[in-house]
Structure 1
Amino acid sequence: MNLSKLLILASAMSVSATAFAAGAHSDGHGMGSGEPGKASEASRTITVEMYDNYYEPETIEVKAGETVRFVVENKGNLVHEFNIGTPSMHEAHQEEMMMMVEHGVIQGGKLNRDMMEMDMGNGHSMKHDDPNSVLLEPGESQEIVWTFTGKGNIEFACNVPGHYQAGMYGEVNFK
């Protein structure tokens, strides 16, 4: 690689690292939607299936203060995310997810997990390990245990670029 290409790459990585390290969330990852729960306190389990650009179920009803265990399964052909948060948090998180695509972490139906470990500076990486979210390849499943506070407008969404805009989000309604 010649010197000019190296400088361009280093500059791009520096700008992206600075943006990623600064964080895009005004209300934090999942803040305002609840908090991580304990599996032993879950009142029920909800299975959420992710297909290419929709969820089943599309709406979830919870009680304020309820702890729910989610079993999330990717039944689609693409990488998908299940993320619990406010609409503004999802909008900000989409910028971070775009960087994951730009850096080759998300590659259609595959995740480059080695790239997720890459040091972006200031101790930040592209790990996707927030307690309110899972990012899954086709055929994978994972669990989230979440306690809902009952405040605000809460939804679950896939913030992989273009998926939210295609309708891959659902409502969390409080009973």
Structure 2
Amino acid sequence: MKSLILSAAFAFVSLPALADGAKSFAFGEPAPASTATRTVQVVLKDIAFEPGKLQVKAGETVRFVLINEGKLVHEFNLGDAAMHAEHQKEMAAMAGMDHGQMDHAAHGHDAANTVLVQPGQRAELTWTFRQSAPIEFACNVPGHYQAGMVGQLTIE
């Protein structure tokens, strides 16, 4: 009986993560790293991305290797300007929390299009781009986007 209750609790807690992980966006969806046709390294600095602009092709699957060389926690988030604005509201609501000590799931926004990278750490995000759309890659930790930690991603 105890294992049945634990199994049910685990299944219930897993539902939002599974549903979110399956979510696709107009510009594409997450993909397994093994399906990547190209790898792009992006360095997260305080407060900038290198490179600051990226180009991909519609249909291409890109494995982003993210390296945080900064002293602050940063985020790599793919989306359009409206998505970033909404995500910034979520992040601002959590401004009292210590972002440097949290993992991404603890933020409550472990969407497939975003990765939180601790200082000195590496992370990956693999994405299949479906169609041309004006999107950005950005850090939505409070104040970072406004300070210029945003880049343009062109889908050809």
TM-score normalised by structure 2 residue count: 0.79
Are 1:111 and 2:132 an aligned pair? no
Residue 161, structure 1, aligned to residue 142, structure 2:
yes
Quote the residue 1:85 is aligned against: 79
Aligned match of 1:138 = 119
Kindly tell me the number of residue pairs found equivalent between the two proteins: 134
Query: Aligned partners of 1:114 and 1:145: how far apart in 2?
Result: 16
Q: Distance in 2 between matches of 1:166 and 1:151?
A: 27
Shift of the alpha carbon at 1:128?
4.1
Q: Which amino acid aligns with 2:114?
A: S
Q: How does 1:1-175 map to 2 (within 5 A)?
A: 31-102=25-96, 104-106=97-99, 110-113=100-103, 116=106, 126-175=107-156
Q: Secondary structure at the match of 1:101?
A: coil
Query: Any conservation in 2 of the 1:78–1:138 contact (CA below 8 Å)?
Result: yes
Which amino acid letter does the alignment assign opposite residue 158 of structure 1? C
TM-score by length of 1: 0.70
Identity rate of aligned residues, in percent? 49
Q: Contact conserved, 2:24 with 2:30, CA < 8 A, in 1?
A: no
1:86-106 CA-partner distances (Å, limit 9, x unpaired): 11000000011112222x141
Q: Deviation at 1:115?
A: 9.2
**How far apart in 2 are the matches of 1:159 and 1:112?**
15
In the alignment, structure 1 segments of 5+ residues that lack a partner are: 1-28, 117-125
Structure 2: runs of 5 or more not aligned: 1-22
| Cα 1:92–1:114 shift into 2, 3 Å | closer
Supply the distance in 2 between the matched residues of 1:86 and 1:50 (Cα, whole angstroms).
19
